[in-house]
Chains A and B, each alone.
Chain A
Amino acid sequence: MAGSGGPLRFVLGRLAGTAVTLFGVAVVVFVVLRALPGDTITAKLGTEAAALDPDQRAALTRYYGLDKGPVEQFLGWLGGVCQGRLGVSLDTGVPVRTLIADALPVTVELALLAMLIATPVGVALGILAASRPGRARDLTTQTLGLFGLALPEFVLASVCVAVLATVFSYFPDPGTYTPLTESVGGNLSQLIYPALVLAVGLAATIMRTTRTAYLENARSEFVRTARGKGVSPLRVRLGHILRASLVPILTMTGIQFGYLLGGTVIVEQVFALPGLGRLLLQGITQQDYAVVQSTTLLVATAFVLVNLAVDLLYRLLDPRTR
């Protein structure tokens, strides 16, 4: 009969679970990026931070809580993060919050664009492959998918940039990034290629998920029942098989979107896009821990929240789980 506990209780339960996970994420970020490289941070504060003015240095010392014990440090840091105090970049003295606010829209837009390209392509190819399992078009699509997964992003991105440079004399330059608000066309012309590169692997993943789900549902009894009712083949495919496959496809798409928020590092680096990934990478190479810590925490939080959204959406799509 109707699901026990009710939807509200389920949502509250998931929210509580998410809160615990997020706290755990904060602990991991703190341990990995604050406790492990502790000496490095102290050393860097001593040397390079000399270039900062006293106010900025004080802000950093407070941010890292260098004069307190580890638990206090953690709680102080977490409290600060919750109030939006993300520290100051060790290199430039710019507040990390500003850096992130500038970088986040680039990455989100890139990820959305890649999803927008990859999802229809992946779903269409998956259905194409599943419509004749074991035949030429299935094997071709599956082979393409395997290579799509195996071809590293950095190879694809490098080749893409080289071709752009040769053919269109286009050279990526972080200084010339055009935000969407400034010029839609200019922005898209800079984001479309990296989005395409990201879309290859994504489409391959979505294609595989679609194929598996579609095949499984096509074999199911309820599809035979629908055909037995005299329902047209097109309606059987769209209304029954694809409809039933949407749940796993959307779940996979959502999870992939979450991955993308952290997985754009290479593409942003090669295409010189001033997004979160590039910010993170610069932070790592320059041992700018305030930047790394905040970026990591932000992306992981976004990932957890996207997964939560996917989970709730799943409940909405599948009446059995309501």
Chain B
Amino acid sequence: MTTQAPRARHDPLTRGVWHDRNGRAGTILTAALLLACLTAAAGLLPYDPLAQDPTTRLRAPSAAHWFGTDQFGRDVLARTLTGIAASLRVAAVAVACAALIGSFLGVLAGYVRGRLDAVVSRLADILFAFPAILLALAIVAALGQGWFNTAVAIAVVYTPIFLRVARGPTLSVREAEYVKAAKVLGYGPARILLRHVVPNVSAPVVVQTTLALSWAILTESGLSFLGLGTQPPQPSLGLMVSEARNLLTEAWWTLAFPAALIVVAVVALNLLGDGLRAALDPREGTR
């Protein structure tokens, strides 16, 4: 995941996040989630999330099945963890694409200005004219269902947001005296971009990435809930909630655990985002 890029031990950003109360909680929760996802992805779970067992239908949480079982006797814990791993995969693919393309276009538009900037910014404005969920739905409608198309839809929604986030700082850096000086000294655009623009753009982009990831998880599970995202029998948190809807009174655990995990993931990423913002802008601190 993009937010988890390795950083030097004494990097002020990591230290700042850790000093912020929200940042610390967010880091711990996100790390725990990633660990759980890795466990699921590596096939280390005691149960197969797809294996049906008619003899263990709708069992309440127990020592054998911590989160209980669903109406097909499948282990809810295994399905929940596989589901959040799937959600995170979609979210990570989508946000990574949006962040890379959006930031690249934003820096390019902000640095080159001129007609390119006008066209790119106008395009972003037009995409902004759609409510996010509507745009995602329209794209899924055009491309068809499935997790990859969901990722594409989320990426399209978020690309203009990253574009704006990257373009602003690029514009101000471009006008800064030290950049003008660097130009006078004859440094090429590549050096100026790498030395001056990228460091200024990366901070807001990183913060935006955590928020985008949390929104992407909500969108992915929402689309799956509507039957437009991940398709059964693949476990997905949205689908699990959808299937558990009518079981709520007899088997609350089939809904409660997947729902709780979505909440935990979104809260974790938001807290991490708050922490990053506080570390990058001390005025916003919550320590």
Give yes or no for direct A-B contact (beta carbon below 8 Å): yes
Which residues of A are in contact with B by a Cβ distance under 8 Å? 20-22, 24-25, 27-29, 32-33, 36-37, 134, 146-147, 149-155, 158-159, 161-162, 165-166, 258-259, 261-263, 265-266, 269-270, 280-281, 283-285, 287, 289, 292, 296, 299-300, 303-304, 307
Query: B263–A151 contact, CB under 8 A?
Result: yes
Evaluate whether A159 and B255 lie within 8 angstroms (CB atoms) in the complex, with A32-B139, A150-B270 already known: yes
Query: B245–A262 contact, CB under 8 A?
Result: no
Query: A21–B262 contact, CB under 8 A?
Result: no
Query: B267–A146 contact, CB under 8 A?
Result: yes
Q: Which residues of A contact B286 (CB under 8 A)?
A: 134
Partner of A262, one of B131, B143, B214: B131
Q: Which residue of A lies closest to B215 (CB)?
A: A149
Question: Lowest 5 A-B CB distances belong to which pairs?
Answer: A24-B126, A262-B134, A262-B131, A150-B266, A162-B248
Report B119-135 CB contacts with A as 1/0, cut-off 8 Å. Answer: 00011011101111110
User: What is the distance, in angstroms, from B64's C-beta to the closest C-beta of chain A?
Assistant: 26
Query: B222–A259 contact, CB under 8 A?
Result: no
Query: A24–B129 contact, CB under 8 A?
Result: yes
Query: B130–A147 contact, CB under 8 A?
Result: no
Q: Which residues of B contact A292 (CB under 8 A)?
A: 138, 141
Query: B138–A296 contact, CB under 8 A?
Result: yes
Stretch at the interface among B7-15, B44-52, B224-232: B224-232
Q: Which residue of B lies closest to A36 (CB)?
A: B142
The docked-state distance in angstroms from the alpha carbon of A37 to that of B141 is 9
B163 at the interface (CB under 8 A from A): no
Query: A152–B131 contact, CB under 8 A?
Result: no
The docked-state distance in angstroms from the alpha carbon of A287 to that of B139 is 12
Query: A150–B267 contact, CB under 8 A?
Result: yes
Which residues of B are in contact with A by a Cβ distance under 8 Å? 122-123, 125-127, 129-134, 137-143, 214, 218, 221-222, 225-228, 238, 241-242, 244-246, 248-249, 255, 259, 262-263, 266-267, 270-271, 286
The docked-state distance in angstroms from the alpha carbon of A281 to that of B227 is 10
Query: B134–A21 contact, CB under 8 A?
Result: no
The docked-state distance in angstroms from the alpha carbon of A20 to that of B130 is 14
Query: A284–B228 contact, CB under 8 A?
Result: yes
Partner of B270, one of A20, A149, A166: A149
Number of A-B contacts (CB under 8 A): 134
Interface SS of A by simple majority: helix
Q: Which residues of B contact A147 (CB under 8 A)?
A: 263, 267
The docked-state distance in angstroms from the alpha carbon of A267 to that of B18 is 38
Evaluate whether A152 and B138 lie within 8 angstroms (CB atoms) in the complex, with A159-B248, A259-B131 already known: no
With A158-B242, A262-B133 given, name 11 new contacts (CB 8 A): A32-B138, A37-B142, A149-B270, A150-B218, A152-B222, A152-B259, A154-B222, A159-B248, A266-B225, A284-B140, A303-B129
Query: B241–A155 contact, CB under 8 A?
Result: yes
Q: Which residue of A lies closest to B248 (CB)?
A: A162
Partner of B142, one of A21, A22, A33, A270: A33
Query: B227–A262 contact, CB under 8 A?
Result: no
Partner of B262, one of A36, A152, A304: A152
User: What is the distance, in angstroms, from B256's C-beta to the closest C-beta of chain A?
Assistant: 9
Partner of B226, one of A24, A28, A134, A269: A269
User: What is the distance, in angstroms, from A74's C-beta to the closest C-beta of chain B?
Assistant: 15
User: What is the distance, in angstroms, from B164's C-beta to the closest C-beta of chain A?
Assistant: 15
Query: A265–B137 contact, CB under 8 A?
Result: yes
Query: A299–B134 contact, CB under 8 A?
Result: yes
Q: Which residues of B contact A307 (CB under 8 A)?
A: 129
Query: A152–B221 contact, CB under 8 A?
Result: yes
Q: Which residues of A contact B133 (CB under 8 A)?
A: 259, 262-263, 265
Q: Which residue of A lies closest to B259 (CB)?
A: A155
Q: Which residues of B contact A300 (CB under 8 A)?
A: 129-131, 134
The docked-state distance in angstroms from the alpha carbon of A217 to that of B123 is 35
Q: Which residues of B contact A154 (CB under 8 A)?
A: 221-222, 225-226, 238, 241-242
